[in-house]
Amino acid sequence: MIRIFSLRLLVFSLVGTLGTLAALGQGAQKAQQPPANTSIITQAQSLLDAGKIDSAIEILSVASRSKPNDAQFKHLLGLAYYRKGDYTHAVENVSAVVRVTQQNDRQYREEVQILGLSHYFLGHSREAVPYLEQLSQWSPGNTEIAYALGISYIQTRNPDRSRETFARIFNLPIASASAYLVNAQMLVRQQFEELAETELKRALELDPKLPQANFLLGEMAIYHANIDRGIELLQKEIAINPAFGMSYYRLGEAYTRQQKWNESIAPLQKSIWLNPYFSGPYIVLGKVYLKKGDLQNAENILRQAVRMDQNNFSAHHLLAQVLQQSGRNEDARREFDVAEKVRTSTDKEP
């Protein structure tokens, strides 16, 4: 979910980037001769400027069928499809003309932008990289473009280049332990955990007391069912970074996977005390109290979790179980119904 939400934010941000970067090429030389089919081009451009994208596509498509090799029609069609979010057709049209556009022309810069970002949104990382590299050179301070380039390097399994890119974004020395840590975080987000582990081990070689490196390694170990190793790494993280609430949360959760209910309580409580606004440890602690048969504490803490996160299926479902075991069957039934509604609505989310 995080990944999807981040991508949505990036899409909105990068669509706006297109016009900003194109402005960098305004000083480039333009062709002296007037364009062919001036009236159609002008009309289409006016429609695009007014946000009437479908109307622009309609007249450009008709014109392009009569002149299939007209570079200006193809360029504007690609731009229109890009603004519509139809990246496949954007690539199809712009790829046909970018090779013949003069590189000192503003139109060339716009075409590189369309191709780099369209390929990126389509998941064509290898195709996106050369165009994104050009964009990054033209606008080195644009962090959205740099982020897309860094992710594309990850997707093409090039962690050295992604580390360099993210180090620049976060103003870190490229060979520093912190640069390896940030790159590892991005690799984990993109589910390249094997590469992330290598980065984290190198980060700890450079700085054995680097915060969050052991935490990430511990999370990955637990995810791969190596619970004992995960607990060991989380304990190392807590020794280095004792005010980091997520370490206690993951440690408590790890103990519950071993059904060590008593051992899990203290780290979960510490996580709540350090970060009382995160529902995760409340839910896990509620489950622990339920397993121990402490129904009053379980109900209290799960009701707090529900207040904090009303759309959390686990919180509602666990609370329903607590109410059921307390003999309050009608309350339990209502809570099970709420849990089911939450689960169904969550499943429907794109």
Written as six digits, the tokens of 283 are: 């839910």
Q: What are the tens digits of pLDDT across the range 172-204?
A: 999 999 999 999 999 999 999 999 999 999 999
pTM: 0.82
Does a structural domain hold residue 42?
yes
Burial of 330 (0-12, 13-18, 19+ CB in 10 A): exposed
Closest CA to 105 of 75, 78, 82: 75
Does a structural domain hold residue 335?
yes
Does a structural domain hold residue 165?
no
Does a structural domain hold residue 88?
yes
Q: What are the tens digits of pLDDT across the range 91-139?
A: 999 998 888 888 777 889 999 999 999 999 999 999 999 999 999 999 9
Closest CA to 175 of 197, 151, 205, 150: 205
Report the alpha-carbon distance of residue 256 to residue 108 in Å, rounded: 58
- From 133, 156, 179, the end of a domain falls on 156
Query: pLDDT-derived band of residue 297, with 50, 70 and 90 as boundaries?
Result: very high
Does a structural domain hold residue 93?
yes
Burial of 92 (0-12, 13-18, 19+ CB in 10 A): middle
Does a structural domain hold residue 127?
yes
Report the alpha-carbon distance of residue 185 to residue 162 in Å, rounded: 11
- From 156, 176, 208, the end of a domain falls on 156
Q: The domain that contains 141 carries what CATH number?
A: 1.25.40.10
- From 101, 132, 156, the end of a domain falls on 156
- CB of 179 within 8 A of CB of 171? no
CA distances from residue 181 to 17, 37, 121, 274 in whole angstroms, order as listed: 28, 55, 26, 23
Written as six digits, the tokens of 177 are: 């332990």
- The torsion angle over the Cα atoms of residues 77, 81, 82 and 86, rounded to 10 degrees, is -150
User: What angle (nearest 5°) sits at the alpha carbon of residue 231, between those of residues 246 and 250?
Assistant: 25
Does a structural domain hold residue 29?
no
Does a structural domain hold residue 113?
yes
- Per the structure, how many domains does the chain have? 2
CA distances from residue 260 to 227, 289, 324 in whole angstroms, order as listed: 12, 12, 24
Report the alpha-carbon distance of residue 146 to residue 160 in Å, rounded: 15
DSSP state of 173: -
Give the structural domain span for 342. 294-350
Q: What is the pLDDT of residue 95?
A: 92
Q: What is the pLDDT of residue 336?
A: 94
Query: pLDDT-derived band of residue 37, with 50, 70 and 90 as boundaries?
Result: low
The per-type count for the chain, helices as H runs and strands as E runs, is: 19, 0
